[in-house]
Structure 1
Amino acid sequence: MSVKHHKVNQSGLSSSEGDVENQSRIQQSANFDTSEKGLQETQRSSQQPFIPSQLKLLFVSDKRPIWVGLALGLDEIGCVEPRFDWVSTSEEALLLLRNDSYDCLLIGALYESKTRQLELLKAIRGSSCHDPVVLVLSEPDDHVALAAFEYQAEVLVSAAMWESPVLLGSIKRSIMIEQLREDKHRLMVENHRRLVRERDEAEQLLKQQRLMVEELQTLTFPNEVDTTETDLFLEKSRNHYDSRQVSESFQIPREVQDYYQELLRTYVIMGSGSLKDEILQISDLLSNANLTPRKVLEFHLECVELIIKGLGNRSSRHVMARADLLALEMMVHLGECYQKKSV
């Protein structure tokens, strides 16, 4: 590729200011057009599949294919050193795939060899080989199309077969689809790891909050130790506990438990905007049951953990943040309720 350099005439430096301004505007406009074209080319290239300079293709057909036109097309897009391998039998193809990998497989499914090539495609996918595959047909065939849909392969129907100008486009499309499939799998794995990490962080925060509540109880009443609650706390720390048993030890009515769990779910979804009356109501119910703030906070942590376990594939950071806000708001209202009783 040759690049031409155009020289700019510098003899007009003594021109008027108007000419200088015009030249500067023209230059700015040219720079803007160049940058806009570069952006468009970048966006266009990002949508194209990655074709390596040493593309490896495997042809499977009864006769040696003619790939002169394909080689010229690859040379035009920058693939200057392609590697073409050809086999005539399915056994040879499977042997090559066992020892090597290819950027794309091209299988010629003629009428007399259609069944054998479809069995080869099934064997390739059954051996956990996910290389892009293009089935080349000389005429339409519904059975081949159904097999291509089932085993994630592209179908090219052309009477020219290997000399078809559409062959290079089919190879690009097959490689691009496989790249998108790999990207999707990678993103799914990363998302799953992120959710597991967030779930572990939420469980660690719950354990820290339980330890904080237990330490506060020990500091406030060092001589009063409730063995039942201590044993239940140890069970909760090991994640082997029954939330119904712990709640019954706090003497919380079942209706209040269900109401608070629904309130917590609604608070996580909607926030505290329109739930002020409900929070005041549940605070009055808990204060009338003569529950200490520590026991209410432990019951709150139970409900939070039940919600986190039922999230499935959803994030738990949002739940923990909203639940902490609800606990803070509820402790404030609960303190106000006990203050009114003491007056």
Structure 2
Amino acid sequence: MSVKHDKHNLIDADSFAGFPQTEADSAYTENTEQSSDRFLQQPIPSGFKALFISRVRPVWVGLALRLDAIGCSEPRFEWVSTAEEALTQLRNDSYDCLLIEIDSETRKSRLELLNAIRISGCHEPAILLLAGPDDQVTQAACENQAEVLVSTAMWESPALLSVVQRALSMQQLCEENHQLQVEKHRRLIRERDEAERLLNQQRSMVEELQNLVYPDVLSDQQSDSELPGTSGLHKSDPPVELPQIPFEVRDYYHELLRTYVIMGAGNLKDEILQIAELLAAADLTPPQVLEFHLQCVELIVKGLGNRSSRHVMSRADLLALEMMVHLGECYQKKKRG
């Protein structure tokens, strides 16, 4: 059976003004008026386009009237009866919602169709209609992000419009969530690049400071680079290599930095003073301490995963500043002693 395209697919609600309204429809109208404010933020747009998939052409007059009652004018309904026709339509056109009828005879083929629709990359909201509860259908709906409506009234069910609205709302939430995830990922990449740029700038500052304090060491390294076999050395290498620091001190400072990043300064003054005394006892110069600090910061930034690096960099800078203050006090004590 081919797809049905006729003038009745473009619903004119005015032509059904005399359509008799049942008690269920009256109750539905009252509920719609009470909950209209809830759907004002996400109304069904005019020109709503739905694809019906069922063995027999559905009667969609009631749904069209209910859509018109909430301000959705000129909905477009199309109907197909087989899975091949449905896939063809979805390949050639897009729809706001898919409504799939399921009964005991078509359950297997309809569930396979739903799975094929999702595998093909079609993420339109889908609603499965069945006359009685079915655990297999419910499970398939959960696996393929579809809504389920169980009603003996099927297409004439007064709850159909609410399920359609819920399906559209869930689809919008999924799209917004995807956009937020993409923006979050981009922001994290920007922050990671910014953190790497700041680390490179701080390393350049440390190297310039080291060159100002120890110009003889720089000239010796430049002369060594001119010797045979040293042409492969990079000019941006640190002028003074970091001396060997005991692993206990490295691990202690790394844990201190992690704690400082998470908790802030807090009650870590004694720990910071203790590590400053250890670094001063190792005869590390301030530029060497900063280089050691940057190495630890780089390790933490690389292990952040999806967490923000801007927060880490700001807290790490505060720790470096506080460390320099305590380190200067330790050097003054050693000089006086």
TM-score, reference length from structure 1: 0.81
Give the equivalent residue in structure 1 for 2:266.
273
Judged with a 3 Å threshold, the aligned counterparts in structure 2 of structure 1 residues 217 and 121 are, in CA distance, closer, same or farther, namely same
2:200 maps to 1:173: no
SS in 2 for 1:107: strand
Judged with a 3 Å threshold, the aligned counterparts in structure 2 of structure 1 residues 45 and 155 are, in CA distance, closer, same or farther, namely closer
CA distance in 2, matches of 1:301, 1:42: 58
2:58 maps to 1:65: yes
Q: Structure 1 residue runs of 4+, over 6 Å off?
A: 40-43
Judged with a 3 Å threshold, the aligned counterparts in structure 2 of structure 1 residues 145 and 165 are, in CA distance, closer, same or farther, namely same
> Which consecutive residues of structure 2, in runs of 5 or more, have no partner in the other structure?
1-33, 226-232
Judged with a 3 Å threshold, the aligned counterparts in structure 2 of structure 1 residues 150 and 301 are, in CA distance, closer, same or farther, namely same
CA distance in 1, matches of 2:38, 2:131: 32
Give the equivalent residue in structure 2 for 1:157.
150
Pairing partner for 1:100 from 80, 84, 93: 93
User: Would the aligned equivalents of 1:67 and 1:163 in 2 still touch at CA under 8 Å?
Assistant: yes
SS in 2 for 1:224: helix
> For residue 297 of structure 1, what is the amino acid of its counterpart?
L
> For residue 44 of structure 1, what is the amino acid of its counterpart?
R
Identity %: 66
2:38 maps to 1:44: yes
> Which consecutive residues of structure 1, in runs of 5 or more, have no partner in the other structure?
1-39, 237-245
- Write out per-residue CA displacement over residues 212-244 of structure 1, whole angstroms, 9 at most, x where no aligned residue: 11111222332322749x9588469xxxxxxxx
SS in 1 for 2:118: helix
Give the equivalent residue in structure 1 for 2:31.
none
Aligned residues: CA RMSD? 2.1
Deviation at 1:273, TM superposition (A): 2.1
CA distance in 1, matches of 2:318, 2:101: 64
- Write out per-residue CA displacement over residues 88-137 of structure 1, whole angstroms, 9 at most, x where no aligned residue: 11111100100111000000112111111111101100101000000010
CA distance in 2, matches of 1:340, 1:189: 53
User: Would the aligned equivalents of 1:50 and 1:176 in 2 still touch at CA under 8 Å?
Assistant: no
Deviation at 1:183, TM superposition (A): 1.0
2:74 maps to 1:84: no
Deviation at 1:155, TM superposition (A): 0.7
Q: What aligned pairs does 1:309-320 form with structure 2 within 5 A after superposition?
A: 309-320=302-313
Deviation at 1:43, TM superposition (A): 7.0
User: Would the aligned equivalents of 1:69 and 1:163 in 2 still touch at CA under 8 Å?
Assistant: yes
CA distance in 1, matches of 2:234, 2:260: 27
Q: What aligned pairs does 1:139-150 form with structure 2 within 5 A after superposition?
A: 139-150=132-143
2:334 maps to 1:341: yes
How many residues in Structure 1 have an aligned counterpart in Structure 2? 291
Give the equivalent residue in structure 1 for 2:279.
286
SS in 1 for 2:333: helix
2:220 maps to 1:214: no
Judged with a 3 Å threshold, the aligned counterparts in structure 2 of structure 1 residues 235 and 115 are, in CA distance, closer, same or farther, namely farther
Judged with a 3 Å threshold, the aligned counterparts in structure 2 of structure 1 residues 121 and 276 are, in CA distance, closer, same or farther, namely same
SS in 2 for 1:191: helix
